[in-house]
A and B are shown apart, each in its own frame.
Chain A
Amino acid sequence: MAEGYDVVCVGGGGAGIMAAVAAAEQGARVAVVSKEPVGYGNTRLAVGLMACSGLPGDTREAFIEDVLAGGEWLGDRRLVEALVDGAAEAAARLESFGHTFIRDSEGFLSQQAVTRAGGHSRSRTLRSSGIGIGLCQSLRAAVEKHGIGLYEDTLVSRLVKNEGRVCGIKALDLAEGREYVLGAKAVVLCTGGGGWLFYPQTSNARTATGDGYALAYEAGAELVDMEQVQAIPFAVTSPAAYRGLFCGEPALAGPYGRILNGDGDTILDGGINNMSRAAVVSRMAGEIVAGRVGPNGGLTLDLRPNLEHEDGLKARDRLREVGMFDVVLPAYGRKAYDWEEPWEVLPTVHFFMGGVRADQDGRTCVPGLFAAGEVMGGVHGGNRLGSVALTEIFVFGWRAGLAAAEYAGSSPAAEPAACLGDSGLYGRRGAIRPVTLVRRLQALLWEKAGLVRNREGLLDGLREIDAIEALAKTAGVSEKRVYNTEAADFLELGFMLTTARLVLTAALLREESRGAHLRGDFPASGGKDWQKNIILRRAEDGTVDCRMEVSRA
Chain B
Amino acid sequence: MKDHTIIIVRSLPEGGRKKEKFTVPLQPGATVLQGLVHIYDTVDSTLAFRYSCRYNHCGLCGISADGRPRLACKTKLETTEEVAPLANLPILRDLAVDRTRYYSRFKGMRLYPEGDAAEPLGHLVEESLHRNLMGCLECLCCVASCPSHSLSDVSFGGPYLFVKLAQLHLDSRDRTDRRAQAAEKGLARCRECKKCRCPNGIDLHGALEALNK
Interface on A for B, CB 8 Å cutoff?
36-37, 40-41, 44-45, 52, 88-89, 91-92, 95-98, 100-103, 107-109, 129-134, 137-138, 140-142, 144-145, 150, 152-153, 175, 205-207, 238-242, 245, 326-327, 330-331, 433-436, 439, 478, 480-486, 489
Query: Which residues of B in the span 115-130 have a Cβ within 8 Å of any Cβ on A?
Result: 117-118, 120-121, 123-126, 130
Segment from B47-55, B149-157, B179-187, B190-198 that makes contact with A:
B47-55
The interface residues of chain B lying within 8 Å CB-to-CB of A36 are: 50, 52, 60
B31 within 8 A of A: yes
User: Chain B interface mostly helix, strand, loop or mixed?
Assistant: loop
Task: Judge whether A175 and B98 touch: CB under 8 Å.
Answer: yes
With A45-B53, A133-B137, A489-B45 in contact, do A98 and B120 touch (Cβ < 8 Å)? no
The interface residues of chain A lying within 8 Å CB-to-CB of B107 are: 144
The interface residues of chain B lying within 8 Å CB-to-CB of A153 are: 92, 100
Interface on B for A, CB 8 Å cutoff?
13, 27-31, 33-34, 40-41, 45-46, 48, 50-60, 73-74, 92-94, 96, 98-100, 103, 107, 110-113, 117-118, 120-121, 123-126, 130-131, 133-138, 164, 167-168, 171, 173-174
The interface residues of chain B lying within 8 Å CB-to-CB of A44 are: 52-53, 57-58
Task: Judge whether A88 and B120 touch: CB under 8 Å.
Answer: yes
The interface residues of chain A lying within 8 Å CB-to-CB of B93 are: 480, 482-484
The 5 closest A-B pairs by CB, nearest first: A130-B134, A239-B29, A92-B120, A134-B134, A141-B112
Q: Which of A129, A141, A175, A241 contacts B126 (CB 8 A)?
A: A129
For the A-B complex with A132-B57, A153-B100 known, give 15 more contacts whose Cβ atoms are closer than 8 Å: A36-B60, A97-B112, A101-B121, A103-B126, A129-B131, A144-B107, A144-B111, A144-B112, A145-B112, A240-B28, A241-B29, A433-B45, A480-B93, A482-B93, A483-B94
Q: Shortest CB–CB separation between residue B46 and chain A, in angstroms?
A: 5
Q: Shortest CB–CB separation between residue A53 and chain B, in angstroms?
A: 11
A532 to B142, CA, bound (A): 53
Task: Judge whether A107 and B124 touch: CB under 8 Å.
Answer: yes
| Max count, chain A CB within 10 A of own CB: residue among B48, B55, B123, B131 | B55
Closest B residue, CB atoms, query A109: B121
Q: Shortest CB–CB separation between residue A468 and chain B, in angstroms?
A: 16
A486 to B30, CA, bound (A): 24
| Max count, chain B CB within 10 A of own CB: residue among A100, A205, A484 | A100
Q: Shortest CB–CB separation between residue B143 and chain A, in angstroms?
A: 15
A144 to B103, CA, bound (A): 11
Q: Shortest CB–CB separation between residue A335 and chain B, in angstroms?
A: 16
A96 to B33, CA, bound (A): 36
Closest B residue, CB atoms, query A135: B134
Q: Shortest CB–CB separation between residue A331 and chain B, in angstroms?
A: 8
Task: Judge whether B48 and A485 touch: CB under 8 Å.
Answer: yes
Q: Shortest CB–CB separation between residue B4 and chain A, in angstroms?
A: 13
With A100-B130, A241-B33, A330-B74 in contact, do A175 and B100 touch (Cβ < 8 Å)? yes
With A44-B53, A245-B55 in contact, do A108 and B123 touch (Cβ < 8 Å)? yes
A506 to B193, CA, bound (A): 60
Task: Judge whether A240 and B34 touch: CB under 8 Å.
Answer: yes
Closest A residue, CB atoms, query B104: A150
Q: Shortest CB–CB separation between residue A144 and chain B, in angstroms?
A: 7
A399 to B93, CA, bound (A): 39
A205 to B54, CA, bound (A): 8
Task: Judge whether B41 and A435 touch: CB under 8 Å.
Answer: yes
A391 to B78, CA, bound (A): 42
Q: Shortest CB–CB separation between residue B52 and chain A, in angstroms?
A: 4
A137 to B51, CA, bound (A): 18
With A88-B120, A144-B111 in contact, do A241 and B60 touch (Cβ < 8 Å)? no
Q: Shortest CB–CB separation between residue A175 and chain B, in angstroms?
A: 6
Name 9 A/B residue pairs within 8 A (Cβ), A-sorted: A37-B99, A44-B52, A98-B171, A133-B57, A137-B134, A137-B138, A138-B112, A145-B112, A242-B54
With A40-B60, A326-B56 in contact, do A91 and B126 touch (Cβ < 8 Å)? no
Closest A residue, CB atoms, query B54: A245
Q: Shortest CB–CB separation between residue B41 and chain A, in angstroms?
A: 6
A200 to B48, CA, bound (A): 20
